[in-house]
Amino acid sequence: MIQVIEALAIVEANSSKMPGKRIPLGKALCYVLAETVYSHTATPAFRQSAIDGYAFVYSEKQQYDIVGSLQAGEHLNTKLENNQTVRVFPGAFLPDGADTVVTHDYVMSNEKSILITVMPDQFDNIHENVEQIDKIDKNEVVIEANTLITPASIGLLSGLGITEVTVYKKPKIALLVMENELVKTDEKFLKDKIYESNSLMLQAALQTIGIKKTKVFGVKNNFKVIKKALKNSLSKYDIVLISGGVSAGDFDTVKEVLLENEVKELFYKINQKPEGLLFFGKKEETLVFTLSGNPASLLTNFYVYVCPAIKNKMGFGEIYVPKVIRKLNSEITNTSGKTVFLKGLYDETFVTVLEDNSLLLLDTFAKANSVLMVPYNVENVKKGESVALLPIN
């Protein structure tokens, strides 16, 4: 029996990063960069307009003739004369000669010319290389390795002409569901059975962290069948989740099968509520987790242990999961001597614990937006005290 914090450290230490692969930039959202990206090429050395206005060659003159209009990225091939101006939009490259931009708010204009009403200082409203994205030289770092790829970084890389990136692969995940006595949801409801709801739920939970497809194997709770299914999965997948059939009684069978398949046990019993019976093991780089058949316990253990393992393998840094701190809306007493996970609903300021102590009820879980942890050695958390939450969904 180990403590939650030890279990988490073991999970972290054993979930090594996946290898990298090249993918098109357009498919890279929510992957983590496995390479530092350098610019292919120096970006243009032109100065750009920072604002919506008129570019001109600075002088004390107020009146200028309009000779053109430039959008972001556009460039004029002729040099601007002293009495000329060009309508410019943010990001437009300044014509040769032009050194100042005046905002259109300080200009009176007709189609042919402008009159500047409030004269800016020379060099106002332009982006020199030093302060623009186009400061980037050839082979300069654009984004460091191990950075999560966001819409903005896709825009940035795309804007530099980069079309492919190397990212950490997503782990391939196999889900073995023990088909004990459960009924699939498309069968008729039988009075003394419960529906097999774990596979759909786990697939959905995996989707929330970017694992779009999970291979699900229904496995009869029988030594030979489990052994074969596990053997196949261990060779083809990066993470194997075994759901159901592991509550003490059957645990011996599953554990025997795991050991026969040379899965190295890293832990199997955690001092926690709910469901401390959770086998975590490894064969080569493939991780194996057993998850209790009870849907709510299973989901808790998924969020607490399996999610971080997957995110580690995908190269996520902790920086991408800012912890949520909230004030507790009610007192919590924990005399169990175990670390207790509770379901919480948090708003801007407070977190409400959705029930006393049981994680058996999935309908409460469906209303929660976080999991709250009370350590084994904390007997009491007072109303108004701050607690850290693990946001879910």
Q: Which of residues 76-135 bind its own copies (CB under 8 A)?
A: 87, 89-91, 93, 104, 127, 131-133
Name the residue nearer to its own copies (CB basis): 46 or 267.
46
Name the residue nearer to its own copies (CB basis): 182 or 263.
182
CB of 170 to its own copies, least distance (A): 15
Name the residue nearer to its own copies (CB basis): 3 or 203.
203
Please pick, from the candidates 6, 137, 347, 379, the single residue that binds its own copies as defined by CB under 8 A. Answer: 347
* Interacting positions 213-232 with its own copies (CB under 8 A): none
CB of 122 to its own copies, least distance (A): 19
Residue 243 binding its own copies, by CB under 8 A: no
* Interacting positions 357-386 with its own copies (CB under 8 A): 358, 360-363, 365-366, 368-369
Name the residue nearer to its own copies (CB basis): 142 or 285.
142
CB of 162 to its own copies, least distance (A): 7
Name the residue nearer to its own copies (CB basis): 99 or 355.
355
Q: Which stretch binds its own copies (CB under 8 A): 190-198, 232-240, 254-262, 279-287?
A: 190-198
Angle at 266 (CA atoms; ends 263, 269), nearest 5 degrees: 115
Please pick, from the candidates 36, 59, 63, 69, the single residue that binds its own copies as defined by CB under 8 A. Answer: 69
Name the residue nearer to its own copies (CB basis): 189 or 224.
189
CB of 307 to its own copies, least distance (A): 11
Q: Alpha carbon 231 to chain centroid distance? A: 31
* Interacting positions 250-269 with its own copies (CB under 8 A): 250
Please pick, from the candidates 94, 233, 275, 390, the single residue that binds its own copies as defined by CB under 8 A. Answer: 275
Name the residue nearer to its own copies (CB basis): 286 or 290.
290
Q: Which stretch binds its own copies (CB under 8 A): 54-62, 70-78, 111-119, 228-236?
A: 70-78
Closest CA relative to residue 135, chosen from 45, 242, 75 = 45
Q: CA separation (Å) from 231 to 48, 121, 239, 246, 298?
A: 61, 74, 13, 18, 23
* Interacting positions 304-343 with its own copies (CB under 8 A): 319-320, 322-325
Residue 23 binding its own copies, by CB under 8 A: no
Residue 66 binding its own copies, by CB under 8 A: no
Residue 297 binding its own copies, by CB under 8 A: yes
Give a three-class secondary structure readout of the chain.
CECHHHHHHHHHHHCCCCCEEEEEHHHCCCCEECCCEECCCCCCCCCEECCCEEEECCCCCCEEEEEEEECCCCCCCCCCCCCEEEEECCCCECCCCCCEEEEHHHEEECCCEEEECCCCCCCCCEECHHHCHHHCCCCCEEECCCCECCHHHHHHHHHCCCCEEEEECCCCEEEEEECCCCECCCCCCCCCCCECCHHHHHHHHHHHCCCCCCEEEEECCCHHHHHHHHHHHHHHCCEEEEECCCCCCCHHHHHHHHHHCCCEEEEEEECEECCCEEEEEEECCEEEEEECCCHHHHHHHHHHHHHHHHHHHCCCCHHHCCCEEEEECCCEECCCCCEEEEEEEECCCEEEECCCCCCCCHHHHCCCCEEEEECCCCCEECCCCEEEEEECC
Please pick, from the candidates 112, 121, 152, 382, the single residue that binds its own copies as defined by CB under 8 A. Answer: 152
Name the residue nearer to its own copies (CB basis): 181 or 260.
181
Residue 170 binding its own copies, by CB under 8 A: no
